[in-house]
Structure 1
Amino acid sequence: MKKEKQFYRNILLTILLHKKLYVGLWIFFCLLLVFLQILFALVFQNLIDAITAMKLDDLQIQIIYTCMVISGMCVCKYLRQILYAKYQKETFQYMKDFLMKAIFNKQIAIFHEVPDSTYLTYLSSCMTEIQTKFFDSLQAMLYDILLFLGAVFGIFYLNMMMGCVILLMTLMNICVPFLTRKKIMTRTEKSLHMNTIFLSYMKNIIKGADTVKFYGMEEAIHTQFSDINKKQEACKYQLQSVLCLSDTIIFLLNYVTVCVPWFIGAYFVLHGAFHLGTLMGISQLNNNVASPLQDFFTRSSLWQSGLKVMKEVLHTIDLPMIDHTNKIDDVRSITLQSVFYSSQHHKILQDINLTFKAGKKYLLIGESGSGKSSILKMLLRYDAPDKGSIKINGEYEVSQITNVYENMHIITQDNFLFEATLLQNLTLYQTDIREDEVITIMKKVGLSHLIKRLHNQIKEDKIHFSGGEKQRIAIARALLHPSKVLLVDEACSSLDGIMGHQIESLLLTLDVAILIEVAHHVYPDLLPCYDEIIWMKKGQIYKQGSYESLCKDKEFCHFLNLTEV
């Protein structure tokens, strides 16, 4: 637990101090601005004394000094703000890059434990919250502290007794606002949780809009939406109500801090303890005691809630990282030894022992739920076995290999297309793949008719691809990004017989070290092309062997007759 806390603390410090030069310069100009504000109070004191003494020459000199100090403050304020803006730009760019790498550095199984909407929230609205609540509040609070300390020092320099009075008022200002801090933190957390629920619900409903319309679910959906919307706004109101109470308390204390020193100071001026100029100087500095304190505690509440968001983002996205130790250059074999796997107390795989060797093509058949696709998911690390091992080349567990996806690709029945050009969808944004290579591959896989639309944006052009075209695009990707192992999961299940046969034939011609295909519907004339057929039933290997050996089995032939297209 301590190591985990230290890990996140180090990440936070790395992000905060990513640009140390900007941080150092920002602190320097903050200190200089505070010094000039103290100097302004002293000049203001002399200005008032010159007026009360009716000394015109001194007045003129003090006016010049005042203008010089104000000019210096303006320059320092601008430089402080522009440095913070540059720091923020660099830091957020670094942080989002870091988080994005961390997301895609996670194992797929762990990646999918977090809903997609949560990742979207963390990299969009949460970034805004972190910026406004955490970073903006933090830099403002640091400046408030420096300004407060500088003002207190200046007041003690002018008059020790007034310094003690103002410090007493300040201590009262510090203690009272702590009463509402815990409520603010609790309600901020609840509000953030409701925002995530709302986004997830909306994403789900929008995706299912067609179903809602077809089955007349509008009224039921609207009732659900109204309930979630009401809860979300109620959480936001509860947070705002406690923030309003906190602000009001601080507002009252701010006036008390200003007025009491004025009353006491006026008494001392009337009794000749010090000049009016000293009181005015103290009053000027007191503004930099009361006002920063009011801002400090308002911002500290926001900063605490921003820190919670920051921690939540880091904890959700950054752990666990993959151990970057083992890499492979080739795949000679994949071995599953005594593999057991269950999901929700349901046995999926039981004592699976398989070896896939380089240079061979494998076909996994069986009824739905027999565990065929689960084997592919294990190889891709979507799931991990409860017992047993999955090793590549007999050396490394597949879970310990960092470049497994460089050596293993998958084609499914639903291949994802990015909102980009067709060319980018084929090259997957790899700029070292030449366009003429892409065109050659497109012709090879039967996509010649799409060459003229290669540079069209899929979203803008509203390109709709047939199932066969999508599968051919997936095969083209596999050819343009060759891997040692190609996994195929029900790639032709949604295609008609002729198109499915064409795609299957094309897959069998691909030059890969190991081809492992899962199919529910098979084409009898293509079965001899597989080196080994594995028939699965109820999570176990029921029968396996070459087509020549299995076709003599009546039960096997009967099963094929039931499923062939």
Structure 2
Amino acid sequence: MKQLFLCRKKQLLFHLLTTIVLSALMVINAIVIEQIASVTKMNELLIVTMGTIIFLVLQSLSYFFQQYYTERLVQILMNDIRLIIFRNLKNKPGFMISQKMQDQYLSTLTSKLNIVEQSFLVQLFWGIYLISQFFVALILAMKINLLLSFFVLVLTIPQILVPIFSRKSLTKNKQEVSKIIDLYVAEVDDYLVGSETWRIFNKRDTFFKKLQLVSNKVKDTEIKEAKTLNIVGVLNKIFSDFLYFGTWLLGAYFIISGQLTLSLLVGFTQIVSSISFPLNSATGTMSEIIGGFEVFKEVIVSSGTSLYTEPIFTLNDNAVSFVDVDYHVGKKVILQKFTYDFKSQKRYLVIGESGSGKTSLFRLIFNEASPINGEVMRSEKVAYVPQEPHIFKGTLIENITLFSIDICEEHLNSIIKMLYLEPLKDMKLSSKTVSGGEKSRIALARALYSQAEFLVVDELSSALDKETQREIEQMLLNSDLNFIYATHKYDEAFVSNFDQIIEMPILTEIIE
């Protein structure tokens, strides 16, 4: 958090200045009211009226600017937080981002960041305004009457102590509510995902009672929090009333003793309202900030910072190297003490039945899976053509260049023509609008456009018709590129085009 605010210290200092100015203008209301209350002649009323109008215009302009700048600063900080999350996500290797983690990131970037914005940042800046108003009002009160201000300050002590002593209970309740809400969300997600199971086994009532139980826990926890907040609120009201009426009673004494005029007392009680209001608001504001800060810490910690560095080397004799690699999927052994160098000047055919681990082998190469033991290294000039490529929402050119700004149009157009992708050129694409064959060709176009010197191509036959498959395979074979090609459909003529054949072993069970 400290680093986040330090990066914006100039904007924060300017915000503090605008907040102090607005606080002063809001508190000066008391002086304007005191001036109005002291008017005794018509010509004085005219001057006071004009002065009041000018003052209200200045106050309104200050209010607009401070509110606008606060909202602007909140959005700047929210953007900084999002960029921190995106940067950390960018640096994480693929094997660290499971489907569960993807869901967590989505939740963080939507609902949790909304809590950070509304309950932490907005309330934090509101709290700064309240503190500023309190001290400005206190200073002005002392200037009007030091002795009366001293008595007022004594009467504010209970209001100051209430949020201090209630902080621990408020924090505990807020944390309990946060935990039970997380549990509730997890239970509902489990309920929805597993709906087919509990319907088939006719366990509707069992699972309904399970959800009812966690829903009741949410209710009880939130009622407990509401009870604490209301107790604190009532105490604040009692002490606030003591402050307000105590000020009038003390003021009456000062008027009787000739130390204060009625108009000054009217103005002074208005200042007391500016002292009392921040104290009344302190409990609710502090509770929101505490809850929001807990979510903020969770957001920053959960996004993490990856210190992982991919083992990448410059393309030389080896394009990819496996060293004593063990890898399992579930209870199936895919690789065991696997050591192999894929030479950059050779072509490799990886064969095996569907599900034999060919895709797992390639995911290891590109760090989308992590070996249990051993090391996998690849050259920076190796590109991947996956079995199930993702098509981003955008144009064909954006998908092939992966949204690059500088585009080599001649190179790009030759690839589009070579892979018969011209019909897609003027379309808006997504994974839902293109066929499996078109996806594979776009994935291959990406690899070719990247000017990779070695390709890893996974199961083109699974998404292409036979004719298109043969055309693309022949294009690869006729090119200057070397590659690893995986397939479960092949013949002797096709096999003869490769320097090395790697047959994936029959999967074995892990021995417990």
Same fold (TM over 0.5): yes
Code of the aligned partner of 1:348: I
Within the candidate set 377, 380, 392, 1:418 is matched to 392
Code of the aligned partner of 1:184: K
Contact 1:493 1:520 in 2 (8 A): no
Distance 2:429 2:209 in 1: 37
Within the candidate set 367, 371, 377, 1:381 is matched to 367
Please name the residue that 2:21 is paired with.
Answer: 32
Within the candidate set 156, 171, 178, 1:181 is matched to 171
SS of equivalent to 2:461: coil
Contact 1:257 1:290 in 2 (8 A): no
Shift of 1:108: 0.7
Contact 2:324 2:375 in 1 (8 A): yes
Counterparts in 2 of 1:421 and 1:148: CA distance versus 1, 3 Å? same
Code of the aligned partner of 1:261: L
Shift of 1:457: 1.7
Contact 1:373 1:489 in 2 (8 A): yes
Distance 1:536 1:492 in 2: 17
Please name the residue that 2:315 is paired with.
Answer: 330
Contact 2:93 2:308 in 1 (8 A): yes
Code of the aligned partner of 2:448: L
Counterparts in 2 of 1:235 and 1:83: CA distance versus 1, 3 Å? farther
Shift of 1:287: 1.8
Contact 2:326 2:373 in 1 (8 A): yes
Gap runs ≥5 in structure 2: none
SS of equivalent to 1:360: coil
- Identify which range, 228-237 or 421-430, moves more after superposition: 228-237
- Map residues 46-125 of structure 1 onto 2, 5 A cutoff: 46-48=35-37, 50=38, 54=40, 63=49, 65-112=51-98, 114-125=100-111
Contact 2:395 2:428 in 1 (8 A): yes
Within the candidate set 410, 422, 427, 1:456 is matched to 427
Contact 1:188 1:239 in 2 (8 A): no
- Map residues 134-533 of structure 1 onto 2, 5 A cutoff: 134-157=120-143, 158=145, 159-175=148-164, 177-178=166-167, 179-192=169-182, 194-195=184-185, 198=188, 237=219, 240-242=222-224, 244-271=226-253, 272-273=256-257, 274-323=260-309, 328-333=313-318, 334-342=320-328, 347-367=333-353, 370-392=356-378, 407-433=381-407, 437-445=411-419, 447=420, 450-458=421-429, 463-465=433-435, 467-493=436-462, 495=464, 498-512=467-481, 514-533=482-501
Please name the residue that 2:117 is paired with.
Answer: 131
Counterparts in 2 of 1:312 and 1:216: CA distance versus 1, 3 Å? closer
Distance 1:173 1:200 in 2: 41
Number of aligned residue pairs = 499
Shift of 1:24: 1.7
Distance 2:499 2:2 in 1: 56
TM-score (norm 2): 0.83
Code of the aligned partner of 1:349: L
Deviations 1:439-493 (A, max 9, x none): 4323322x2xx52341112359x7341x333322222222222223321223323
Contact 1:426 1:473 in 2 (8 A): yes
Code of the aligned partner of 1:163: V
The structure, 1 or 2, with the larger RCO (C-alpha pairs under 8 Å, 6+ apart) is 2
SS of equivalent to 1:413: coil
Please name the residue that 2:504 is paired with.
Answer: 536
Counterparts in 2 of 1:417 and 1:217: CA distance versus 1, 3 Å? farther
Shift of 1:505: 3.3
Distance 1:172 1:315 in 2: 32
Contact 2:27 2:136 in 1 (8 A): yes
Shift of 1:416: 1.4
Aligned residues: percent identity? 22
Distance 1:305 1:344 in 2: 39
TM-score (norm 1): 0.76
Counterparts in 2 of 1:344 and 1:457: CA distance versus 1, 3 Å? closer
Counterparts in 2 of 1:323 and 1:67: CA distance versus 1, 3 Å? farther
RMSD: 3.7
Contact 1:337 1:352 in 2 (8 A): yes
